[in-house]
Amino acid sequence: MNALDDLDKVGVSVIEMLCECLLLFGSLEGKMYRGLFRRLRFTSVGPFWRCLKVQTRPPQFAFDPGSEVFRVPPSPKMATAEDELLLPRLPELFETSKQLLDEVEVATEPTGSRIIQDKVSKGLDLLKKAAEMLSQLDLFSRNEDLEEIASTDLKYLMVPAFQGALTMKQVNPSKRLDHLEWAREHFLNYLTQCQYYHVAEFELPKTKNNSTDNNTASSSMAYPSLVAMASQRQAKIERYKQKKEVEHRLSALKSAVESGQADDERVREYYLLHLRRWIGISLEEIESIDQEIKILREKDSSKEESTSYSSHQDRPPMKPFVLTRNVAQAKVFGAGYPSLASMTVNDWYDQHQKYGVLPDQGVAKTTPELKRGTQQQEDQEQKEDEDDEQMLHRAREWDDWKDTHPRGYGNRQNMG
């Protein structure tokens, strides 16, 4: 504890100078020291140094007034306490969560399987810790531009996008709407951050309040605007072309960056391409999320309507009502057809039997007078045919002439 007592006597300016020196070399730990120092600058230096030991694992050193060098002799008690309280570093959290996300996206197992869901939950826990550490360290400030952020720190801007992607992989039908809203919030935070740093030019999606207002306004319109649909289609085509170009450039830089052979400029370009790639993914995911949220809400509303309809069915049936106008009109004009029978069935049968028009096993009945009249007519015709010998002779001559003269005989029209 002597080293800590000596450190308490140094003063605030020495620690601040150390932080600025580390920042000159672009070290992440320097920003971590500065962020923690900003929160604890009004406390004693001893607790501040303990906090640094727990959060960032700095090199052990103490202050020697004669040589102006910081040294801390190793202490077994302090080492054991540090091993128990040490937290995973930010790069480790980021790389592990990124690896889990890649494994989930390329996995052949179903998304609802236990293995995939364990990876999803583990990745979300790691990303939550990384996001908390980023907020504690103030790694990204609104007072900085994109050029002022270190090349190795650009990748930490993708933490909200990774959170949204893993949240979309969660499988729980009862909480699907909550998962969609959380994923949309993560993607929107990522896009807002990228738009602030001017990573790429894109239109930020509308928030929930604006989208609800626009839905109520557009509900009054019968048909969607064709101009808006054409602009959306053109935007999708442009995003697709940019996505293909970004993926091609990433594949060219990936091997050099992962092997550590790339310079700072190529590393910066590599991470900026990743940021632009995730901008396109976030825009597409938010669009699909909005559509799915709309479907789920309509499904819930239909369920509520069905329950209310069933409650209406439990009520006693309403009494039928009759329009007096129709009743009065029916009394005057009638029903449009004879409502009362003019004769009974027996009367109808007797009438048809009298006229002899009833069928008798498929053969109509005839009266004796009708039979006698037809027979007389046939006899008369036969007698007339026998008496007319002249007509019979002429008919025979005509038949003989047709036998000796073929059809068309003599009709040559002076052709020989």
Q: What is the pLDDT of residues 74-106, one digit of tens each?
A: 444 444 444 444 567 899 999 999 999 999 999
CA 81 to chain centre: 50
Ranges 15-19, 182-186, 241-245, 356-360, most confident: 182-186
- Model confidence band, residue 282 (pLDDT cutoffs 50, 70, 90): very high
d(CA 45, CA 50): 9
Please report the domains of the chain, with CATH numbers, ordered by start residue: 2-85 (no CATH), 90-210+231-312 (1.25.40.540)
Query: pLDDT tens across 254-273, in order?
Result: 888 888 888 889 999 999 99
Q: What is the pLDDT of residue 76?
A: 45
The dihedrals phi and psi of 7, each to the nearest 5 degrees, come to -70, -30
Q: Is residue 129 pLDDT above 80, yes or no?
A: yes
Question: What residues pair up with 360 in beta bridges, in sequence order?
Answer: 363
Mean pLDDT across the stretch 217-238?
70
Sorted by sequence, the CB contacts under 8 Å of residue 129 that are 6+ apart come out as 87, 88, 93
**pTM exceeds 0.75, yes or no:** no
Residue 378 or residue 155, greater confidence: 155
- Interstrand relation of 363-364 and 69-70 (parallel, antiparallel or unpaired): unpaired
For residues 334-358, give the mean pLDDT: 79
Tens digits of residue pLDDT in 354-392: 887 777 644 555 566 677 778 888 877 777 766 677 778
Retrieve residue 178's tokens: 């909550």
